[in-house]
Amino acid sequence: MAFWGKILGFIFGFMFFKIPGAILGLVVGHFFDKAYSQDFNQLGGFGRFFTDQNSVKQQAIFFHSLFSSLGHLAKSDGQVTSREIQIATNLMDEMRLTGEARREAQDAFREGKARDFPVVETLKGLYENCHGRRDILQVFLEILIQAAFADGQLSQEEYNVLEKVASPLGFRRRDLDYLISMFEAELRFRQRGGASNAGGGNQRQRQQRAYSDTQTLSDAYKILGVSQSDDEKVIKRAYRKRMAEHHPDKLISKGLPQQAMEIAKQKAQDIQSAYELIKEKRGF
């Protein structure tokens, strides 16, 4: 139940106009609290999915923005495929969205597919409700990048949508390209075991192993956002910065929904693995 409007209205009313002002402030505060509560109720299933009323609005907006943007991304080439629907479904499963919250996610996905869907305005609202917190907004953008790569490649149409999404979130084109490059390195880095452990002695398998040996370390540097020429101090600083951007406890404290945390955890694991490889190769 919202009550801060009545309390503040009473206090400020009494300060300026004594008892009559306190009564007037109480009445005004009551209407403010009522409107505020209605705004929460209009969040539907997403709002009811969370129990912490202090963050319910921000988290509900996060999920609505996410799944409507996914729908917009899926529609970017003119047709939503069964594969793209499955990607959204898998994300709902991974985030453990059930019941009314899942129906809200499905509705948001369908809403985002509309040709006239106001994606920029929607994401401006997300930016405001996240108070411009770059780490939260970066995780949001990284989820969309991961979804765009689910079929193994990024089409020009999908890139155009990602660029349109990135702008109202405060990311420039070069920021987007940087995040895409990092994600591509992460994809190769995660798959390195299969190529490097391939058996047999034919030329193609040897090429796979050689590619893995030469590219794995390079990708590790890309994941940290550094170059091989950087010294130990720069690499350690970059590692700490990247881990801080995806540290689960920090992200939750800043408003990232618990249900979106798996993406951040995977990123943190990649960053940790990349750093360990670099440490091993460089001996520090």
- pLDDT confidence of residue 84: 84
Model confidence over 33-87: pLDDT tens digits? Answer: 554 444 444 445 555 444 444 455 667 888 899 999 999 998 887 778 788 888 8
- The reply to whether 80 and 115 lie within a common domain is yes
Q: Which of 52, 46, 81, 78 is nearest to 65 (CA)?
A: 46
- The reply to whether 62 and 160 lie within a common domain is yes
- The reply to whether 20 and 69 lie within a common domain is no
- The reply to whether 163 and 70 lie within a common domain is yes
- Does residue 267 sit within a domain? yes
- The reply to whether 16 and 99 lie within a common domain is no
Residue 235 clears pLDDT 80, i.e. is over it: yes
- pLDDT confidence of residue 115: 85
**Section 203-209 average pLDDT:** 52
- pLDDT confidence of residue 197: 43
Last residue of a domain, one of 146, 180, 214: 180
Q: What is d(CA 104, CA 43) in angstroms, rounded to the nearest whole number?
A: 9
Q: Answer for the pair 58, 130: CB distance below 8 angstroms, yes or no.
A: yes
Residue 198 DSSP one-character state: -
- pLDDT confidence of residue 151: 76
- The reply to whether 95 and 55 lie within a common domain is yes
Number of domains in the chain: 3
Last residue of a domain, one of 124, 156, 180: 180
**Section 1-12 average pLDDT:** 52
- The reply to whether 17 and 78 lie within a common domain is no
- pLDDT confidence of residue 181: 92
Residue 168 clears pLDDT 80, i.e. is over it: yes
Q: Answer for the pair 60, 78: CB distance below 8 angstroms, yes or no.
A: no
- Does residue 213 sit within a domain? yes
- Does residue 79 sit within a domain? yes
Q: Answer for the pair 34, 6: CB distance below 8 angstroms, yes or no.
A: no
CATH of the domain at 91: 1.10.3680
Q: Which of 55, 245, 69, 43 is nearest to 167 (CA)?
A: 69
- The reply to whether 275 and 213 lie within a common domain is yes
- pLDDT confidence of residue 53: 47
- Does residue 203 sit within a domain? yes
Model confidence over 186-195: pLDDT tens digits? Answer: 888 877 654 4
Last residue of a domain, one of 134, 157, 180: 180
Mean pLDDT rounded to a whole number for the chain:
77
- The reply to whether 208 and 165 lie within a common domain is no
Query: How many other CB atoms are found less than 10 A from the CB of residue 199?
Result: 5
- Does residue 271 sit within a domain? yes
**Section 224-228 average pLDDT:** 90
- The reply to whether 59 and 116 lie within a common domain is yes
Q: Which domain holds residue 277?
A: 190-282
- Does residue 185 sit within a domain? no
Least confident of 29-43, 123-137, 148-162: 29-43
Output 250 or 72, whichever has higher pLDDT.
72
CATH of the domain at 195: 1.10.287
Q: Which residues contact 229 (CB under 8 A, 6 or more apart)?
A: none
- What is the widest separation between alpha-carbon atoms in the chain? 91
pTM: 0.69
Work out the pLDDT band at 200, boundaries 50, 70, 90.
very low
Element (H, E) at 228: none
- The reply to whether 84 and 34 lie within a common domain is no
Q: Which residues contact 95 (CB under 8 A, 6 or more apart)?
A: 257, 259, 260, 262
Residue 93 clears pLDDT 80, i.e. is over it: yes
If you write DSSP's letter for every residue of 101-166 in order, what string do you get?
HHHHHHHHHHHHTSTT--HHHHHHHHHHHTTT-HHHHHHHHHHHHHHHTTTSS--HHHHHHHHHHH
Query: How many other CB atoms are found less than 10 A from the CB of residue 85?
Result: 15
CA distances from 184 to 87, 89, 119, 142, 178 (A): 18, 23, 25, 11, 10
- The reply to whether 55 and 174 lie within a common domain is yes
- Does residue 247 sit within a domain? yes
- Does residue 167 sit within a domain? yes
Residue 153 phi, psi (nearest 5): -150, 160
